[in-house]
């Protein structure tokens, strides 16, 4: 579904009069056809007309987004990003053969904010699989904001990445400390190879005397076998609170219900215990890991 | 005290320098595009350089609580390779409009050649078109005449003098710049250009209006702490602290905030360092624990 009318609707309620006037003129210019230099200039100039602050969508608006493009969650978009994505979508040649080059031109000269807006635009374009290489660049970035723009709150990676790119994108979230629970597909697109990569990473962290990211346990599902259970038990014995809570969720996702029931009687840590209670009631999908995300804790 | 170093090439400095600058109170820097010690041979090298100072370098600075702004331009030395210069001028507009680009610069004259003048005029036109500040590099050789020409050509091109900063001044050039109504910046170098002692006497003689102190530290023998060190010497030698604050902080802010690209309230808020952020497949951290300040950076 075309998401441009939705973005325009949101922007009309949020842009100041000067910004709204500029946006109307820029949209008209883009839809009339502009050369690459002018398109890039408008993409840059948008920063002068839209606040960098959050778009701050209502629950109703978020529901409309998810209905239009399943997996799209713009709750962390800025007004400037919405404006820039709307400018891209205002091109009338996006289904044509020149679209990939035109969009790539934006990326070639982009600053950080433009990169993020560019990656957020791609899932909204016709035949988004044409932009697979570019999205892979985003997933390889160690600039956390760029990684998240490409991989989080978006249907794209799970839907279009091949197995190698998908697993790399998932593990990369742990390296850049992006919220893996926001990567759509981490509850469903799991396999034995991803579980092995995650378990190797846990071993590497422990050998170096470093903590294991609690979200790492999301990567296992029921694919880790005995090695996974052993690694989860190590975390339960010796990890910090959040790591132990993550390990509880890992056990639940592996189907180790009887082990969880046994833990329930012995657990002393209230935080771990509440995670455990919820997990036994079925709460062990990626949303349960959101509670272990330090950034979410900081916000709440 | 807090300091604004409005001319420094951080791309050539180490993280030790960033740490020392942060400790010394440097809160904001401007990285003007310049050459890299030797001439580039391809357009791609310029494109990547502009991207780097707008991207990775800004990220490095942020990890030490230092706000990092840029000037974008084709420098005078490389303007003499005219076929390449033409290509660079053609892409400049794609970079000068980016967030945090506070001026077109550093541009101007090196040998005061015709090719340099063509590039200077083209870039002044770009600045006038987008109502931007211009940072001018003044030549080492024939400096006085170079500065006079920079001023008169800028005026002919319609660049407002209030949006013109002439850098690398000395005792012989400052009066011309102030008389023209432009900002006069001084680079404090240990062996060439200005020394801190001479700077003290210039401020004593000319007062603090439209005078700016910077380090222009780069890959040569230079000192990224020039601005705080010169401020300390000024105070020690009896310059009014309000004057010192003007020439090492406020004037640079006033000159470059005219770009609209400095979020002044955010800059005035006390910085908090968070080294956990990562940028573009690399991190300045090499295995050591990230420094995450709960408290503000000490002044």
Tokens for A123, please give them.
């899932």
CB distance B127 to B121 below 8 Å: no
Tokens for A288, please give them.
């349960």
Whether omega for the bond prior to residue B106 falls within 30 degrees of 0, making it cis, is: yes
Q: Is residue B278 scored above 60 in pLDDT?
A: no
In angstroms, what CA-CA distances link A212 with A108, A201, A266? Answer: 36, 8, 23
In angstroms, what CA-CA distances link A45 with A195, B138, B188? Answer: 44, 30, 35
Q: How far apart are CA B184 and CA A156, in angstroms?
A: 52
Q: How far apart are CA B119 and CA B75, in angstroms?
A: 9
Q: How far apart are CA A24 and CA A12, in angstroms?
A: 10
Q: Are A37 and B93 an interchain contact pair (Cβ–Cβ within 8 Å)?
A: yes
- In the numeric block, the tokens 């949303």 are attached to A287
pLDDT at res. B295: 44
Mean pLDDT score of chain B? 91
CA distance, residue A13 to nearest chain B CA (Å)? 24
Tokens for B116, please give them.
């340099």
CATH code for residues B3-268: 3.20.20.140
Q: How far apart are CA A219 and CA A210, in angstroms?
A: 19
pLDDT at res. A45: 95
Q: Which among A245, A265, A248 is positioned nearest to A257, based on CA atoms?
A: A248
Tokens for A232, please give them.
């989860």
DSSP string for B73-104: ---HHHHTSHHHHHHHHHHHHHHHTSTTEEEE
Q: Which among B42, B34, B27 is positioned nearest to B12, based on CA atoms?
A: B34
CB atoms within 10 A of CB A22: 19
pLDDT at res. B218: 95
Q: Dihedral, CA atoms, A131, A132, A135, A140, nearest 10 degrees? A: -150
Rounded average pLDDT over B78-107: 96
Q: How many residues does chain A have?
A: 300
CB distance B104 to B34 below 8 Å: no
Q: Is residue B279 scored above 70 in pLDDT?
A: no
Tokens for A115, please give them.
């990169």
pLDDT at res. A296: 65
Q: One digit per residue, pLDDT tens: chain A, 300 residues?
A: 799 999 999 999 999 999 999 999 999 999 999 999 999 999 999 999 997 789 999 999 999 999 999 999 999 999 999 999 999 999 999 999 999 999 999 999 998 889 999 999 999 999 999 999 999 999 998 788 899 999 999 999 999 999 999 999 999 999 988 999 999 999 999 999 999 999 999 999 999 999 999 999 999 999 999 999 999 999 999 999 999 999 999 999 999 999 999 999 989 999 999 999 999 999 999 999 998 876 665 443
pLDDT at res. A53: 84
pLDDT at res. B290: 57
CB distance A232 to A247 below 8 Å: yes
Q: Tell whether A294 is within 8 A of chain B (Cβ).
A: no
pLDDT at res. B298: 41
Residue B241: is it exposed, middle or buried by C-beta count within 10 angstroms (0-12/13-18/19+)? Answer: exposed
pLDDT at res. A142: 77
Sequence-separated contacts (24+) of A250-253 with Cβ below 8 Å: A250/A217, A250/A218, A250/A220, A251/A279, A252/A279, A252/A280, A252/A284, A253/A217, A253/A218, A253/A220, A253/A221, A253/A222, A253/A284
Coil, strand or helix at B158: coil
Tokens for A51, please give them.
């606040």
Interface of B to A at Cβ within 8 Å reads: 47, 51, 54-55, 58-59, 91, 93-95, 97-100, 260, 276-283
Q: Is residue B299 scored above 90 in pLDDT?
A: no
Percent of chain B past pLDDT 70, that is, above it, reads 90
Residues paired with B104 in a beta bridge: B72, B134
DSSP state at residue A157:
H
- Nearest CB among A41, A45, A140 relative to B281 is that of A140
- Nearest CB among A109, A112, A143 relative to B94 is that of A109
pLDDT at res. B107: 98
ipTM attached to this prediction: 0.77
| pLDDT 10s digits, B5-15 | 999 999 999 99
Spatial strand order in the sheet of B67-72? B3-5, B26-32, B67-72, B101-108, B133-137, B164-166, B183-187, B211-214
Phi, psi of A10 (to 5 degrees): -60, -45
Q: Tell whether A78 is within 8 A of chain B (Cβ).
A: no
Q: Is residue B276 scored above 90 in pLDDT?
A: no
CA distance, residue B142 to nearest chain A CA (Å)? 37
CB distance B162 to B181 below 8 Å: yes
In angstroms, what CA-CA distances link B116 with A236, B74, B112, B255? Answer: 68, 10, 6, 25
**Which distant-in-sequence residues (6+ apart) come within 8 Å of A245 by Cβ?**
A214, A271, A272, A275, A291, A292
Tokens for A202, please give them.
């846990």
Of A17 and B292, more confident: A17
> Nearest chain B Cα to A205, which residue?
B287
Q: Tell whether A207 is within 8 A of chain B (Cβ).
A: no
CB distance B222 to B187 below 8 Å: no
Look up the pTM and report it: 0.86
Residue in B31, B91, B280 to test binding to A, most A beta-carbons within 10 Å: B280
Residue in A38, A44, A52, A53 to test binding to B, most B beta-carbons within 10 Å: A44
Buried b (16+ CB within 10 A) or exposed e, B168-178: bbbeebbebbb
Q: Is residue B132 scored above 70 in pLDDT?
A: yes
Crossing angle of the two packed helices B82-96 and A36-45, in degrees rounded to 10: 40
pLDDT at res. A295: 65
Q: Are A143 and B47 an interchain contact pair (Cβ–Cβ within 8 Å)?
A: no
**Which distant-in-sequence residues (6+ apart) come within 8 Å of A50 by Cβ?**
A11, A15, A19, A23, A78, A79, A80, A82, A83
Q: Which among A241, A244, A184, A193 is positioned nearest to A217, based on CA atoms?
A: A244
DSSP state at residue A131:
G
Domain ranges of chain B: 3-268
What residues of B are in contact with residue A109 (Cβ under 8 Å)? 47, 51, 91, 94-95
């Amino acid at each position: 579904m075309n998401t441009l009318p939705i973005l325009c609707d949101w922007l009309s309620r949020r842009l100041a009069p000067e910004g709204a006037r500029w946006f109307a003129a820029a949209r008209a210019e883009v839809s009339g056809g502009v050369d690459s230099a002018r398109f890039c200039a408008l993409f840059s100039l948008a920063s002068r007309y839209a606040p960098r602050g959050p778009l701050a969508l209502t629950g109703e608006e978020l529901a409309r987004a998810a209905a239009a493009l399943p997996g799209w969650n713009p709750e962390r978009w800025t007004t400037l990003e919405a404006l820039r994505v709307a400018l891209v979508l205002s091109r009338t040649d996006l289904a044509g053969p020149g679209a990939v080059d035109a969009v790539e031109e934006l990326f070639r000269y982009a600053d950080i904010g433009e990169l993020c807006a560019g990656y957020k635009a791609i899932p909204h374009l016709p035949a988004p699989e044409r932009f697979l290489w570019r999205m892979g660049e985003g997933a390889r970035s160690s600039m956390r904001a760029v990684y998240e723009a490409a991989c989080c709150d978006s249907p794209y990676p799970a839907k279009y990445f091949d197995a190698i790119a998908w697993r790399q994108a998932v593990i990369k979230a742990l390296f850049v400390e992006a919220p893996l629970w926001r990567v759509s597909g981490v509850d469903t697109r799991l396999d034995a190879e991803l579980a092995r990569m995650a378990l190797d990473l846990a071993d590497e962290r422990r050998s170096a005397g470093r903590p294991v990211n609690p979200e790492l346990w999301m990567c296992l599902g029921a694919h880790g076998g005995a090695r996974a259970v052993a690694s989860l038990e190590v975390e339960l014995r010796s990890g910090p609170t959040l790591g132990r809570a993550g390990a509880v969720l890992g056990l639940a996702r592996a189907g180790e219900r009887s082990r969880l029931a046994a833990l329930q009687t012995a657990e002393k840590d209230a935080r771990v215990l509440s995670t455990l209670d919820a997990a036994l009631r079925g709460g062990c999908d990626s949303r349960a890991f959101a509670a272990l995300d330090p950034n979410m804790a900081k916000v709440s | 005290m807090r300091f604004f170093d409005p001319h420094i090439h951080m791309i050539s400095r180490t993280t030790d320098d960033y740490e020392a600058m942060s400790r010394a109170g440097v809160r904001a820097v401007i990285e003007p595009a310049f050459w890299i010690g030797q001439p580039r041979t391809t357009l791609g090298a310029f494109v990547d350089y502009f991207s780097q100072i707008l991207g990775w370098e800004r990220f490095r600075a942020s990890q030490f609580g230092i706000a990092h702004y840029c000037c974008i331009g084709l420098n005078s030395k490389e303007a003499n390779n005219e076929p390449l210069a033409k290509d660079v001028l053609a892409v400049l507009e794609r970079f000068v409009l980016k967030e945090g680009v506070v001026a077109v610069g550093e541009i101007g004259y090196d040998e005061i050649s015709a090719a340099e003048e063509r590039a200077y005029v083209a870039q002044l036109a770009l600045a006038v078109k987008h109502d931007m500040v211009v940072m001018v590099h003044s030549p080492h050789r024939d400096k006085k005449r170079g500065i006079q020409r920079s001023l008169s050509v800028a005026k002919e091109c319609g660049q407002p003098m209030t949006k013109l900063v002439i850098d690398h001044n000395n005792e012989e050039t400052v009066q011309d710049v102030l008389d023209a109504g432009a900002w006069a910046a001084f680079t404090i170098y240990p062996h060439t250009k200005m020394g801190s002692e001479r700077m003290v006497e210039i401020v004593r003689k000319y007062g603090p209006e439209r005078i700016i102190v910077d380090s222009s530290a780069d890959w040569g023998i230079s000192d990224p702490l020039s601005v705080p060190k010169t401020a300390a010497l000024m105070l020690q030698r009896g310059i009014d602290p309000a004057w010192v604050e003007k020439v090492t902080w406020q004037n640079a802010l006033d000159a470059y905030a005219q770009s609209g690209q400095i979020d002044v309230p955010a800059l005035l808020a006390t910085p908090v360092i968070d080294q956990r952020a990562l940028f573009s497949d690399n991190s300045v951290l090499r295995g050591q624990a990230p420094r995450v300040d709960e408290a503000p950076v000490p002044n």
